[in-house]
Amino acid sequence: MAAVNGVGLSWPSKLTKNQTPKWGFSPSHRRCNPSSSSSSATIRMTASVDEKKKTFTLEKSEEAFSKAKELMPGGVNSPVRAFKSVGGQPIIIDSVKGSRMRDIDGNEYIDYVGSWGPAIIGHADDEVLAALAETMKKGTSFGAPCLLENTLAEMVISAVPSIEMVRFVNSGTEACMGVLRLARAFTCRPKIIKFEGCYHGHADPFLVKAGSGVATLGLPDSPGVPKAATIDTLTAPYNDISAVESLFEEHKGEIAAVILEPVVGNAGFIPPKLEFLAAIRKITKENDALLIFDEVMTGFRLAYGGAQEYFGITPDLTTLGKIIGGGLPVGAYGGRRDIMEMVAPAGPMYQAGTLSGNPLAMTAGIHTLKRLQGQGTYEHLDKITAELTQGILDAGKKTGHAMCGGSIRGMFGFFFADGPIYNFSDAKKSDTEKFGRFYRGMLEEGVYFAPSQFEAGFTSLAHTPEDIQRTVAAAEKVLKQI
């Protein structure tokens, strides 16, 4: 189910490989229109957020973060963790389990970040931990081929429609670096098209209108990125096919590929319009350019075969990460065999990595994907995520806040803005100061969202109806106070 304020957009609960998604339109005011398959149940605020609980304090986190700022730039190893876009004190996590996380002050939270997506079966799953323990007995890193690589590769290839061969790497950034080099090598063309607000890692060519953590900086989006590194990066607004057509017309024969998040997650949750992905597929074929889906977020989250299975659009190349490593550092890129055979040592395009195919990451990925093959997996994600999002939007309407948002399977988001939200320009109209107040209030109520208005949220198989009820009740309480 995807929706924006003012118009309810109902995604089908499942699409086969070649099906086109059907949109159901219905008028509404400041709310989503839930799909019939996932939102028949009404959220009842039976869970009290006023139960007796210990006093909320971040004293230990504050002390630890102060020390961290002396040791690491900004006190963190990834910028959004510093809470600069929401204000207040970052929390320092001590442990995670299932749908919950606990900080060093002893506060417990219902977690909707899931390590930014990998924890789709829940944190610290017992089966995955047991498998990792067995693998560790054999060693933590080989720097040489292992059978586990074959197993995970076979699982990825059988699941993802576009992938006939795959190369494992160590991060989503590395996957996108590799796939860009491959696209240019295969087409012998220099230019790429990316979309405003889409994030494809922190490699120089992608740090142009990259959303999320670099949303407020200039172009290129980071000092230290020379103009020469981004001169061949063309940008267009997401969901705007006419802008893409104009770029192809202006740069005939020069465009190697179009890369995009099939559902945007780094400008907040922004789904594609019905016709957008199909039109992008058509125009790339007409111009002998490659279509790349960055499914680091959406891969195995929207469907077992990713967004390309869900929407019925098959790209030429795909990047993956997060879920396929089960929470351990991993990335991958893959696609058509004729393209992938250009990668060294099969072909001339060089890319390498010391820890690529790490046995621990492969093990965690294998056992995570096995769990996702279980019956009812994506139906569960669809139901709880739609109820969560709808409940929050209804709470916003009840308390007089302009809000919009939506969800698809285990991915969701909401904005403090009147909709519709079709692209990053629309998303930037959100009331980020209000989101910051809401965010800090939800922390005190024991709910952990991504600390940015411009990040998607994630649910897991470990989230329960009680988790959703408690979150929605907390949201209404906080929304009444801000």
271 DSSP assignment: P
Q: Number of C-alpha atoms within 13 angstroms, CB side, residue 234? A: 20
Residues with a catalytic annotation lie at: 199, 294, 322
CA distances from 90 to 60, 197, 272, 307 (A): 11, 24, 32, 32
SS3 257: strand
CA distances from 356 to 36, 116, 191 (A): 43, 21, 28
The strand pair at 331-335 and 317-321 is best described as antiparallel
Residue 8 is assigned to a structural domain of this protein:
no
Are residues 135 and 98 both part of a single domain? no
Q: Which amino acid is at 334?
A: G
Residue 469 is assigned to a structural domain of this protein:
yes
Residue 204: its pLDDT value, please? 79
Token duo for residue 204: 């120089």
**Residue 184 in contact with residue 193, Cβ under 8 Å?**
no
The helix (run of H) or strand (run of E) holding residue 52 is none
Are residues 133 and 261 both part of a single domain? yes
Are residues 168 and 257 both part of a single domain? yes
Are residues 142 and 291 both part of a single domain? yes
Place of tokens 């994630």: 458
Task: Give the count of domains, the chain.
Answer: 2
**Residue 456 in contact with residue 381, Cβ under 8 Å?**
no
Query: The domain containing residue 233 runs over which residues?
Result: 126-373
Residue 34 is assigned to a structural domain of this protein:
no
CA distances from 314 to 281, 352, 467 (A): 8, 27, 35
Pairwise CA distance, residues 18 & 12, whole Å: 14
Domain-ending residue, one of 373, 395, 422: 373
- Number of C-beta neighbours around residue 206 at 10 A: 27
Task: Write the DSSP assignment of 200-230 as a string of letters.
Answer: --S-GGG-SS--GGGTTS-SSSSTT--HHHH
Are residues 452 and 313 both part of a single domain? no
Token duo for residue 189: 């063309």
Are residues 137 and 270 both part of a single domain? yes
Q: pLDDT exceeding 70 applies to what percent of the chain?
A: 86
**Residue 269 in contact with residue 413, Cβ under 8 Å?**
yes
Residues 404-455 have pLDDT tens digits of 999 999 999 999 999 999 999 999 999 999 999 999 999 999 999 999 999 9
Residue 219: its pLDDT value, please? 42
Residue 175: its pLDDT value, please? 97
Residue 411: its pLDDT value, please? 98
Are residues 158 and 290 both part of a single domain? yes
Are residues 231 and 358 both part of a single domain? yes
Pairwise CA distance, residues 290 & 284, whole Å: 6
Q: Which of 196, 304, 322 is nearest to 259 (CA)?
A: 196
Token duo for residue 363: 């093990």
Are residues 342 and 208 both part of a single domain? yes
Question: Can you list the residues of the chain whose pLDDT is less than 70?
Answer: 1-54, 209-221
Residue 28 is assigned to a structural domain of this protein:
no
Q: Evaluate the CA torsion angle 382, 385, 389, 391 in order and state its sign.
A: positive
**Cross-strand bridge partners of residue 333:** 167, 319
Are residues 368 and 405 both part of a single domain? no
**What does residue 217 show for φ and ψ, rounded to 5 degrees?**
-95, 175
Residue 33 is assigned to a structural domain of this protein:
no
Residues 295-310 have pLDDT tens digits of 999 999 999 999 999 9
Residue 203: its pLDDT value, please? 82
Pairwise CA distance, residues 460 & 58, whole Å: 26
Pairwise CA distance, residues 66 & 207, whole Å: 29
Residue 9: its pLDDT value, please? 42
